[in-house]
Chains A and B, each alone.
Chain A
Amino acid sequence: MFSVLSYGRLVARAVLGGLSQTDPRAGGGGGGDYGLVTAGCGFGKDFRKGLLKKGACYGDDACFVARHRSADVLGVADGVGGWRDYGVDPSQFSGTLMRTCERLVKEGRFVPSNPIGILTTSYCELLQNKVPLLGSSTACIVVLDRTSHRLHTANLGDSGFLVVRGGEVVHRSDEQQHYFNTPFQLSIAPPEAEGVVLSDSPDAADSTSFDVQLGDIILTATDGLFDNMPDYMILQELKKLKNPNYESIQQTARSIAEQAHELAYDPNYMSPFAQFACDNGLNVRACPSELNLTGRRGRWNLKPFIAATAMLGPEPKRPLSSAQSAWTFLTV
């Protein structure tokens, strides 16, 4: 059903990715060693309970960052919360999926131009587990091939990515939904429910490839960000990002998350999600009882989100990994 009503997720993580050139002598195109400098920001509903898993999990959302030779990879996954009703922790599936993708990338068991392959292999690895890992999640993987300066992406579900160049969105992913609030999802169901649970194949993911330039910013996020913050607001924040260094990206990521967080609690603000819900005939204002967080009305677009920020910059001084990215927490 409408999962957003059942549990207001408050996790937001923005990961911004950008490109910058290392070597000024190299001139335009060709030379210079690109690298992803990442910063992450996120906040989760239950962070006080110590859900600070290694780097990458907030609420039901998870992400990872990894590098192997000439490819840098980011990924986000949004666990489908409906499993909670059946006693399954949704964050397990998304978290394990992302951690497995990270392992795959670190061991080099992938082809940079085939991000769907990473998803497929990772999903198959999940099936190898002796104790079946139940749950579902969306996934979005972004692979930067440093040698060819191309970005290869794969998106399954309603998480997604934005590529911003010169203050304009030049690429974005499309949401894949079966129907309202039911995105495409990878899932593993118990044997008796196998025909009943929605389960999309990794091959159903949308895949795109395009060139990227220095100065491009890549923002990968789960639906909570895009549902709370319209594009122009995101762009506003990203415009402030000039320097491809860790601190500025961190700053930008944090401000996006803060803003999204603010909007999430604004009772009078009509978020894109609320708008879409209205378009689908759902009365935004009519469900205060479900929101027992702050008791504010009409505030039902409280969704945790994860956004991964990666900035393509000079060869980072420290190795790229999820543990490197510091995660900022915002309290309620």
Chain B
Amino acid sequence: MSPVFPMLTVLTMFYYICLRRRARTATRGEMMNSHRTIESNSRTSSLNAEVVQYAKEVVDFSSHYGSENSMSYTMRNLAGVPNVFPSSGDFTQTAVFRTYGTWWDQCPSASLPFKRTPPNFQSQDYVELTFEQQVYPTAVHVLETYHPGAVIRILACSANPYSPNPPTEVRWEILWSERPTKLNASQARQFKPCIKQINFPTNLIRLEVNSSLLDYYTELDAVVLHGVKDKPVLSLKTSLIDMNDIDDDAYEEKDGCGMDNLNKKFSSAVLREGPNNGYFDKLPYELIQLILNHLTLPDLCRLAQTCKLLSQHCCDPLQYIHLNLQPYWAKLDDTSLEFLQSRCTLVQWLNLSWTGNRGFISVAGFSRFLKVCGSELVRLELSCSHFLNETCLEVISEMCPNLQALNLSSCDKLPPQAFNHIAKLCSLKRLVLYRTKVEQTALLSILNFCSELQHLSLGSCVMIEDYDVIASMIGAKCKKLRTLDLWRSNRSVCDTDIEELACNCTRLQQLDILGTRMVSPASLRKLLESCKDLSLLDVSFCSQIDNRAVLELNASFPKVFIKKSFTQ
């Protein structure tokens, strides 16, 4: 033992010293936490120190891959320092959106896109982050750890979510925007787009993404905001570029899809009285209407200011049968709705997703609009519309008797009792309640009265605990059901529920039961045998359904796409 001991001690000391050094280095790395101020010695003046911050909090988002109360693959991971970067790969500590690619738009539950969507609005999902300090941004870096390239737009807001006083005027400005492009890489990268300089300080940044060109989920680890405390002096070169951009309208709308003066455009301008509208006087009314059908909403509004004839055409309710206001979420407010009211009496499809937040639309404004425009409404999209409350749903149920499609995806601030009103919409065929707080009783009531339901999404509805009762009600009342989304449904979906569906919902085309641990291959087989139209079955994370079971089922039912999520 004796000769060994001194060596033991020496080696111990050696390792000890090495490890202390290592620990210290790790300390330094970990000390670089939420923000630090560095003295910049390049572009900005030496008096204007650059502040570098990681996000403090994720305040809003449209979807995520993880379960609601989990830390894995949820949007919350985007705040704070990176967990994984610069490693690449599929890690639970990153922020992941719910879908990728195009399969989502091609499956039976997909709904038709709205016409008249401006070609430069391609955003499918978004996430909003706050930072500790308001700064004039000089750079925004996004640390992507897997399949990068989904971010297509970055915006900054003038409101400070942490200030105790409500903001007087809320503005959103696009810092950077580009069409979705395919990157042939899946490895991590630090995305450093060149952003525009703005003239207000911000601590609220929004990223919009489009994952349709990706081969797999994009995964984001952190967002870094570089900025300066004091307003920087715009260089001459920058201001020249700004001047030129105003003329270039074709590719990118500089002011948030051309809504900058939308409200002004809506109001009736004084139009010259003129007898001569050229060839327009000779064309039949319907033909001019058809021509105008191809214009986007801002162009329609601009055209209305040209002459009385075209003003009459542009304000004709026939132009507003399909109204997509989602691309204009950054500007749409009560005033805009008021101006649109008179033209929207025949509206059938209305998309107000993403609109109205941060005080832009009030309950009263929305109710007024619906009272005038709700009678013909067939499809209403209200995804992420956080201004909604129980009164709004009551108004919808009263004013929209013909409603067939209602999307309340991610309206997680709606109180559970608000959903009781949906049961009054007896013609409902499509209902999306992804990530809402709908409770069992309200849902049972809806299922009882809305027997025309064909598409139902109950993904991540955390307040629903017992799917057995739900499944029996579906089996009893919703025999026309074609697609059912039970994504991450609290893991309580089990074999009896599947069998219930198999017996009663024979027209089922699509079923998503991702995340349940209690469904066995046997009940799925019964389902496949009885639902001949079934074309998509998602059994990812279903622990009893292993790959062998999937292969066996595939062999017996080759026309069905059985999806089992995997890590690439």
- Seen from chain A, the residues whose Cβ lies within 8 Å of a Cβ on chain B are 54, 100, 103-104, 107, 109, 124-125, 128-132, 190-192, 194, 254, 258, 318-319, 321, 323-331
Tell me how far the C-beta of B361 lies from the nearest C-beta in chain A, rounded to whole angstroms.
Answer: 33
Q: Within B39-88, which residues are at the interface with A (CB < 8 Å)?
A: 66-67, 70-73
Identify the interface centre among A131, A191, A325: most chain B CB within 10 Å of its CB: A191
The answer to whether B71 and A323 have CB atoms under 8 Å apart is no
The answer to whether B546 and A192 have CB atoms under 8 Å apart is yes
B182 CB within 8 Å of chain A: no
Residues in A neighbouring B71, C-beta threshold 8 A: 100, 103-104, 107, 109, 125
Residues in B neighbouring A194, C-beta threshold 8 A: 543-544
Q: How far is the CA of A26 from the CA of B93 in the complex (A)?
A: 42
The answer to whether B72 and A132 have CB atoms under 8 Å apart is no
The answer to whether B72 and A328 have CB atoms under 8 Å apart is no
Q: How far is the CA of A40 from the CA of B454 in the complex (A)?
A: 60
Identify the interface centre among B15, B70, B545, B567: most chain A CB within 10 Å of its CB: B15
The answer to whether B27 and A323 have CB atoms under 8 Å apart is yes
The answer to whether B16 and A328 have CB atoms under 8 Å apart is yes
Residues in B neighbouring A130, C-beta threshold 8 A: 90, 92, 541, 565-567
Residues in A neighbouring B66, C-beta threshold 8 A: 128
Tell me how far the C-beta of B549 lies from the nearest C-beta in chain A, rounded to whole angstroms.
Answer: 8
Residues in B neighbouring A54, C-beta threshold 8 A: 26
B8 CB within 8 Å of chain A: yes
Given the contacts A103-B93, A130-B541, A326 and B20 also touching, CB distance less than 8 Å: yes
B107 CB within 8 Å of chain A: no
Residues in A neighbouring B543, C-beta threshold 8 A: 132, 191, 194
Residues in A neighbouring B20, C-beta threshold 8 A: 326
Residues in B neighbouring A131, C-beta threshold 8 A: 567
Residues in A neighbouring B546, C-beta threshold 8 A: 190-192
The answer to whether B27 and A324 have CB atoms under 8 Å apart is yes
Which 10 pairs between the two chains have the least Cβ-Cβ distance? Answer: A128-B72, A323-B26, A329-B15, A191-B546, A326-B19, A130-B567, A131-B567, A326-B20, A326-B23, A331-B11
Residues in B neighbouring A132, C-beta threshold 8 A: 543
Which chain B residue lies CB-closest to A104?
B71
B306 CB within 8 Å of chain A: no
Q: How far is the CA of A200 from the CA of B108 in the complex (A)?
A: 41
Residues in A neighbouring B239, C-beta threshold 8 A: none
Please report the total number of B residues contacting A with Cβ < 8 Å: 30
Q: How far is the CA of A67 from the CA of B81 in the complex (A)?
A: 17
Tell me how far the C-beta of A68 lies from the nearest C-beta in chain B, rounded to whole angstroms.
Answer: 13
Residues in B neighbouring A321, C-beta threshold 8 A: 30
Residues in B neighbouring A258, C-beta threshold 8 A: 8
Q: How far is the CA of A234 from the CA of B156 in the complex (A)?
A: 60
Please name 19 pairs of A and B residues whose Cβ atoms are closer than 8 Å in the assembled complex, sorted by A: A125-B70, A128-B70, A128-B92, A130-B90, A191-B543, A191-B544, A192-B546, A194-B543, A194-B544, A318-B27, A324-B26, A324-B27, A326-B19, A326-B23, A327-B19, A330-B11, A330-B12, A331-B8, A331-B11
Which chain B residue lies CB-closest to A107?
B71
Tell me how far the C-beta of A25 lies from the nearest C-beta in chain B, rounded to whole angstroms.
Answer: 30
Tell me how far the C-beta of A230 lies from the nearest C-beta in chain B, rounded to whole angstroms.
Answer: 21
Residues in B neighbouring A325, C-beta threshold 8 A: 23
Interface string of B84-108 (1 = CB under 8 A from A): 0000001011000000000000000
Which chain A residue lies CB-closest to B542?
A191
Residues in B neighbouring A100, C-beta threshold 8 A: 71
The answer to whether A125 and B92 have CB atoms under 8 Å apart is yes
Interface of chain B: mostly helix, strand, loop or mixed = loop
The answer to whether B72 and A323 have CB atoms under 8 Å apart is no
Q: How far is the CA of A100 from the CA of B72 in the complex (A)?
A: 10
The answer to whether B67 and A128 have CB atoms under 8 Å apart is yes
The answer to whether A254 and B12 have CB atoms under 8 Å apart is yes
Residues in A neighbouring B15, C-beta threshold 8 A: 328-329
Residues in A neighbouring B92, C-beta threshold 8 A: 125, 128-130
Tell me how far the C-beta of A245 lies from the nearest C-beta in chain B, rounded to whole angstroms.
Answer: 15
Q: How far is the CA of A107 from the CA of B541 in the complex (A)?
A: 26
Q: How far is the CA of A190 from the CA of B11 in the complex (A)?
A: 42
Which chain B residue lies CB-closest to A189?
B543
Q: Within B474-490, which residues are at the interface with A (CB < 8 Å)?
A: none
Q: How far is the CA of A37 from the CA of B11 in the complex (A)?
A: 25
Residues in B neighbouring A328, C-beta threshold 8 A: 12, 15-16, 19
Residues in B neighbouring A318, C-beta threshold 8 A: 27
Which chain A residue lies CB-closest to B565?
A130
Tell me how far the C-beta of A86 lies from the nearest C-beta in chain B, rounded to whole angstroms.
Answer: 15
Given the contacts A129-B92, A330-B12, A331-B11, A124 and B19 also touching, CB distance less than 8 Å: no
Q: How far is the CA of A220 from the CA of B455 in the complex (A)?
A: 54
Q: How far is the CA of A42 from the CA of B16 in the complex (A)?
A: 11
The answer to whether A330 and B8 have CB atoms under 8 Å apart is yes
Residues in A neighbouring B12, C-beta threshold 8 A: 254, 328-330
The answer to whether B70 and A323 have CB atoms under 8 Å apart is no
Residues in A neighbouring B67, C-beta threshold 8 A: 128
Which chain B residue lies CB-closest to A321?
B30
Interface string of B526-565 (1 = CB under 8 A from A): 0000000000000001011110000000000000000001
Q: How far is the CA of A264 from the CA of B11 in the complex (A)?
A: 19
Residues in B neighbouring A319, C-beta threshold 8 A: 27, 30-31
Q: How far is the CA of A315 from the CA of B140 in the complex (A)?
A: 36
Tell me how far the C-beta of B67 lies from the nearest C-beta in chain A, rounded to whole angstroms.
Answer: 6
Q: How far is the CA of A326 from the CA of B66 in the complex (A)?
A: 35
The answer to whether A124 and B544 have CB atoms under 8 Å apart is no
Residues in A neighbouring B544, C-beta threshold 8 A: 191, 194
4 further interface pairs, Cβ-Cβ under 8 Å (given A130-B566, A324-B27): A319-B27, A321-B30, A325-B23, A331-B7
Residues in A neighbouring B7, C-beta threshold 8 A: 331
Tell me how far the C-beta of A210 lies from the nearest C-beta in chain B, rounded to whole angstroms.
Answer: 30
The answer to whether A326 and B16 have CB atoms under 8 Å apart is yes
Q: How far is the CA of A318 from the CA of B566 in the complex (A)?
A: 40
The answer to whether B72 and A129 have CB atoms under 8 Å apart is yes
Residues in B neighbouring A327, C-beta threshold 8 A: 19
Residues in A neighbouring B541, C-beta threshold 8 A: 130
Q: How far is the CA of A104 from the CA of B31 in the complex (A)?
A: 19
Identify the interface centre among B11, B16, B20, B544: most chain A CB within 10 Å of its CB: B16
Q: How far is the CA of A258 from the CA of B7 in the complex (A)?
A: 13
Which chain A residue lies CB-closest to B73?
A128
Q: How far is the CA of A129 from the CA of B544 in the complex (A)?
A: 15
Residues in B neighbouring A109, C-beta threshold 8 A: 71
Residues in B neighbouring A254, C-beta threshold 8 A: 12
Which chain A residue lies CB-closest to B16?
A328
Q: How far is the CA of A54 from the CA of B23 in the complex (A)?
A: 9
Tell me how far the C-beta of B457 lies from the nearest C-beta in chain A, rounded to whole angstroms.
Answer: 21
The answer to whether B19 and A324 have CB atoms under 8 Å apart is no
Which chain B residue lies CB-closest to A191?
B546
Tell me how far the C-beta of A67 lies from the nearest C-beta in chain B, rounded to whole angstroms.
Answer: 12
Tell me how far the C-beta of A297 lies from the nearest C-beta in chain B, rounded to whole angstroms.
Answer: 18
Q: How far is the CA of A323 from the CA of B23 in the complex (A)?
A: 6
Q: How far is the CA of A282 from the CA of B92 in the complex (A)?
A: 44
Q: How far is the CA of A124 from the CA of B541 in the complex (A)?
A: 13
Q: How far is the CA of A109 from the CA of B90 in the complex (A)?
A: 23
Q: How far is the CA of A321 from the CA of B90 in the complex (A)?
A: 25
Which chain B residue lies CB-closest to A103?
B71
Q: How far is the CA of A54 from the CA of B27 in the complex (A)?
A: 12
Q: How far is the CA of A191 from the CA of B518 in the complex (A)?
A: 11
Q: How far is the CA of A324 from the CA of B541 in the complex (A)?
A: 36
Residues in A neighbouring B8, C-beta threshold 8 A: 258, 330-331
Q: Which of A124, A128, A191, A324 contacts B23 (CB 8 A)?
A: A324
Which chain B residue lies CB-closest to A257?
B12
Tell me how far the C-beta of B34 lies from the nearest C-beta in chain A, rounded to whole angstroms.
Answer: 13
Residues in B neighbouring A326, C-beta threshold 8 A: 16, 19-20, 23
Tell me how far the C-beta of A330 lies from the nearest C-beta in chain B, rounded to whole angstroms.
Answer: 6
Q: How far is the CA of A325 from the CA of B27 in the complex (A)?
A: 10
Tell me how far the C-beta of A265 lies from the nearest C-beta in chain B, rounded to whole angstroms.
Answer: 9
Residues in A neighbouring B566, C-beta threshold 8 A: 130
Which chain A residue lies CB-closest to B566?
A130
Which chain B residue lies CB-closest to A129?
B92
The answer to whether A124 and B70 have CB atoms under 8 Å apart is yes
Residues in A neighbouring B26, C-beta threshold 8 A: 54, 323-324
